[in-house]
Amino acid sequence: MPDFDINSTGERVGKVFADRIKGKTVIVTGVSPGGFGADTARVLALYGARVILAGRSLTKIKATADAVKKVPNADLKELVIDLGSLKSVRRAAEEVLGYSVPIDVVITNAGVMGTPYQKTVDGIEFQLACNHVGHYFIKLILPKLLEAPEPRVVLGVSVGHFWGGVRFEDYNFEDGKNGQSKSAVIFHGVALAERYNKLVVFSVHPGSAATNLDSTMTMEDYERCPDLSYF
């Protein structure tokens, strides 16, 4: 097994695991152009996976699909899912349950960071909803995951869990003063792995890159980083 480091490209990693990628059906959430999800989808398609591009905006999904289609024989499908709406999550899950093939891997790249405090239509703090609660989607599509011979779930997290756990008695985070959505994601991964022996779950910090994830953040937000609600 080769050593990977900060200079390793997606293509290099994909080439090493090409025989395990080819023919797999993979759902990637959060596939806006220029982000981790879009590039993950591109590399998966490059090495022969069937990729389900899942995101809130159909326009952005199609933009990423157009870019990924530059890969010869890219096998793509679009899935609209708004993680801030449980109604949308359930609808997307119903669509996936109707697929004719198993789901081999789910990669939960979608998430938000440092947004102004707000609640979703379901009354859930926005960042907790998008980063964690909306990925209840995984539980809803478990029948399709468990049809696969070696199902995998890859949860996108961060280093935010170092600053604290989850206050279960206050899931809306004192009206935005504090929050630990990424810690909740890690707990979710542990619970999935414990409850479903067939399922292998990873919580992965992707590192830092120049994407638009932090577009709503100010320099003041960065200076008080340990207290940010997106942790």
User: For residue 38, is pLDDT > 80?
Assistant: yes
Cβ contact 145:159 at 8 Å: no
Domain boundaries, the chain: 17-227
Model confidence band, residue 131 (pLDDT cutoffs 50, 70, 90): confident
Query: Which segment of 24-38, 78-92, 123-137, 204-218 scores lowest on mean pLDDT?
Result: 204-218
The percent of residues above 70 in pLDDT, for the chain, comes to: 77
Q: What is the pLDDT of residues 6-35, one digit of tens each?
A: 888 889 999 999 999 999 999 999 999 988
The model's confidence at residue 56, banded by pLDDT at 50, 70 and 90, is very high
Amino acid at 44: L
> pLDDT of 149-163, one tens digit each?
999 999 987 655 545
pTM: 0.83
Q: What does the H/E/C string look like for 155-216?
A: EECCHHHHHCCCCHHHCCHHHHCCCCHHHHHHHHHHHHHHHCCCCEEEEECCCCCCCCCCCC
Query: In angstroms, rounded to a whole number, what is the distance separating the alpha carbons of residues 124 and 120?
Result: 5
User: Residue 178's pLDDT is what?
Assistant: 53
- Rounded to an integer, the average pLDDT of 58-87 is 96
pLDDT > 70? residue 90: yes
Yes or no: is domain 17-227 CATH 3.40.50.720?
yes
Cβ-in-10-Å burial (0-12, 13-18, 19+) of 197 comes to: exposed
Tokens representing 182? 């990424």
Which pLDDT value is given to residue 219? Answer: 47
pLDDT for 156: 84
